[in-house]
Structure 1
Amino acid sequence: MTIGPYCLDPLEFGRIRLDGGAMFGVVPRPLWQRTNPPDERNRIALALRGLLLRGEGKIIVVDAGVGDSMPAKQRELYAVEASHQQVLAELGRHGVAAEQVTHVLCTHLHFDHVAGFFRLDREGTIRPTFPSAVHFIGSEQLHHALEPTVRDRASYLRAELEALIQAVEVHLVKNEGELLPGLRVELCDGHTPGQLVPIVHSAERTLCYPSDLVPTTSHVRLAYTMGYDLWAQRLLEEKAGLLGRAADEGWLCCFEHDPVTPLTRIVRENDDFAIALDEELLALGKEWHPRT
């Protein structure tokens, strides 16, 4: 798929399982389990889906999943099916080597979005996955990640983050706007402070990557928010605004954690929102199609 100067591809970095109740907050299990069946430990399957942009001499990776830097206990707890090698292999499938990546965009610094951006070498030293890349990180998000609350500190790998930002060129994003030609970001705070929402745009087509603002297609419904969201009401307002524009302007939305459907359009449905597939979507490459 091409938007403006960029060729876009989804990057499938593996799977993870998180508690279904935490993923759907106040929504009762009989509702969310219809589309997200839990395992015997009440965990639901989630994708770790990044985004690759190539064009105008730039190779950009948006989020990178879990990699293999997490402790074994956490990997078992979350049923992690991901590795550093898988990050490299997925890029290799598109003919991209890690050293060729020019820019990295971290939507936020929770472990399931950022841990693929580094690895541990044999001496236990943190090494960046993309050593030549400029790393775009939300300024407020970085500040929060280094001083998290009791409620969300388990979502961050502080020591690893500190090592990463010392090892790479970091561009702190303080304001909304154009990061690169054809790629802008908006800031959201409901899930976590300073989350970046990248939007790839041209006169003909726009794609939004809402990350944990709308992690799966199930979360398109306004009431479907996560227990992980720090400020649920703020998130609801941010989500309503973003999805309203997506519906009214015909944007595509790529969902980072949906295990089945990578890409849809958004439509209004009464006072809420729903997903829709159309002929243009179905004409895209099979990597964008729903998994069966």
Structure 2
Amino acid sequence: MDTLRVGEIKIHWLRGGVTHFDGGAMFGVVPKALWSKKYQPNEKNQIRCVTDPMYFEYQGKHYLIDAGIGIGRLTEKQKRNFGVVEESFILEDLALLGVQPKDIDGVLMTHLHFDHIVGLTNTDGQSIFENATIYTTETEWQEICRPNIRSKATYWADNWQGIASQIQTYSNSLRLNDAIQLEKTGGHSNGHAIIRMESQGESAIHMADIFPTHAHQNVLWVTAYDDYPMDSIFAKERLRGELEGTGMWLLFYHDCFYRALQFDEDGNVAGKVIVRR
């Protein structure tokens, strides 16, 4: 199990599923001749992407960041379209850490697209982490409950109805404790959020799907899945300055090569945690 320590916080990446998303969609208007040098596609023009939640314990409470693609929640057609070759093993991985689903106190959702939320419920639509408070932005929650003509393709009713009583929303930012903060950015979705960690002088930031893989380092490289691409670009531009030469870790949910990266003052990789799954 891949891990990273940020001060007192030890992050564990759990096996939440393996997909193969369309490369053109993942890199938007960027020509294939450019992005394929950084992230090689398969013969179907798909790129391998994990959907791996992060687990950590802090001050006696257990947290997840996002939830993977679950078990038995996708149809065969959906698996084929999204190139799913492995479903979730997060419950098994949590068990290896001595953690049961009922022990999870909080689930920090970056957004509620299917590949981040499906793992919160079982095939009967019931909540898996029944004692957890599930945090998301007010905007994101309103969107999944009342999706528009575009967003209904990824905001599915059976992904939220079983967890509605556990949802706690916030407007622009939410500080859970002295180490963890959630911050709305918009961009990928209107209510998309990032997660910050800071402990004992060390820090990390999870930009989720406005910075989905290491190949998206260029602020102009955003996905075609982004509903508000200019908001993604502006958010990345604002936040990237925090990464270069500061020692802050950038955390990934989708990247199949790296779990986390650090950058020097010139934007070159200075530290890395490699995916070993």
What does residue 285 of structure 1 align with? Answer: none
Secondary structure in 2 matching 1:229: coil
Question: Contact conserved, 2:187 with 2:228, CA < 8 A, in 1?
Answer: yes
Whole-angstrom CA distance in 1 between matches of 2:37 and 2:245: 28
CA distance in 1, matches of 2:107, 2:270: 29
- Aligned partner of 2:189 in structure 1 is 192
Aligned CA distance change for structure 1 residues 277 and 10 (closer, same or farther; 3 Å): farther
Query: 1:79 maps to which residue?
Result: 83
Distance 1:82 1:262 in 2: 18
Q: Give the CA deviation at 1:189.
A: 0.9
- For residues 81-137 of structure 1, what are the alpha-carbon distances to aligned partners after superposition, in whole Å with 9 as ceiling and x for unaligned? 3435x12112123221111111111110000011111111xxxx3111111111112
Number of corresponding residues: 273
Structure 1 pair 266–12 and aligned structure 2 pair: CA distance change class (3 A): farther
**Any gaps of 5 or more consecutive residues in structure 2?**
none
Q: Say yes or no: does 1:277 pair with 2:270.
A: yes
Q: Tell me the amino acid that sits aligned with residue 152 of structure 2.
A: R
How far apart are 1:268 and its partner, in Å? 4.8
Q: Secondary structure at the match of 2:126?
A: strand
Which sections of structure 1, spanning at least 5 residues, go unmatched? 282-287
Change (3 A) 1:10 1:238: same
Q: In structure 2, what is the equivalent of residue 118 of structure 1?
A: 121
User: Which residue identity does 2:33 align to in structure 1?
Assistant: P
Task: Identify, as 1 or 2, the structure richer in helix.
Answer: 1
Q: Is the 8 A contact 2:18 2:87 kept in 1?
A: no
Of 90, 97, 102 in structure 1, the residue corresponding to residue 93 of structure 2 is 90
Q: 2:246 maps to which residue?
A: 249
**Which position in structure 2 is the counterpart of 1:134?**
133
- Counterparts of 1:70 and 1:180 in 2: how far apart (Å)? 35
Q: Which amino acid aligns with 1:154?
A: A
Structure 2 Cα separation of the partners of residues 250 and 34 of structure 1: 27
TM-score normalised to structure 2 length: 0.92
The secondary structure found in structure 2 opposite 1:236 is helix
- C-alpha contact 1:207 1:251 (8 A) present in aligned 2: yes
* Alignment check: 8 A CA contact 1:243 1:266 kept: no
State how far apart, in whole Å, the 1-side matches of 2:120 and 2:150 are: 24
* Aligned 8 A contact 2:213 2:252 in 1: yes
Return 5-14 or 227-236, whichever deviates more.
Answer: 5-14
Q: Which residue of 2 aligns with 1:32?
A: 35
Q: Which amino acid aligns with 1:13?
A: G
Correspondent of 2:229 among 228, 232, 249 = 232
Q: Quote the offset at 1:177 in angstroms.
A: 3.6
- 2:172 equivalent in structure 1: 175
AA partner of residue 253 (structure 2): E
Question: What is the rounded CA distance, in whole Å, between the counterparts of 2:17 and 2:107 in structure 1?
Answer: 19
Query: What are the residue-to-residue correspondences of 1:37-48 with 2, within 5 Å?
Result: 37-48=40-51
The Cα RMSD (Å) is: 1.9
Does the 8 Å CA contact 1:183/1:200 hold for their aligned counterparts?
yes
Secondary structure of residue in 2 paired with 1:126? coil
